[in-house]
Amino acid sequence: MNDTTHRPLFPDRLSIDPRSPYYNAAIFEHDVGIKLNDKERSDVEEYCISEGWVRVPAGKALDRKGNPLLMKVKGKVEPYYR
């Protein structure tokens, strides 16, 4: 597990959607994990550390463009590299 490459620092806000202004491809070259209230979440679409929220899919519901409907869950957000 010796990773000699430099990993970029996490921004305050990050999204996995390439159309979002908060998307950063350099970060997703590495395996990223998110903890919300000290529990690992694998379904996070977007997060904001300073405001303390993550956006996760709300069940199987889709919007008119076929994207999942997202709901905001608040708590202590901790991104990390696996």
3-state SS, residue 10: coil
What global pTM score does this model have? 0.81
What pLDDT is attached to residue 3? Answer: 55
What pLDDT is attached to residue 13? Answer: 95
- Residues 46, 24: contact at Cβ < 8 Å? no
- Residues 71, 58: contact at Cβ < 8 Å? yes
Q: Judge whether residue 5 has pLDDT over 70.
A: no
Q: Judge whether residue 4 has pLDDT over 60.
A: no
pLDDT 10s digits, 26-70: 999 989 999 999 999 999 999 999 999 999 999 999 999 999 999
What pLDDT is attached to residue 6? Answer: 81
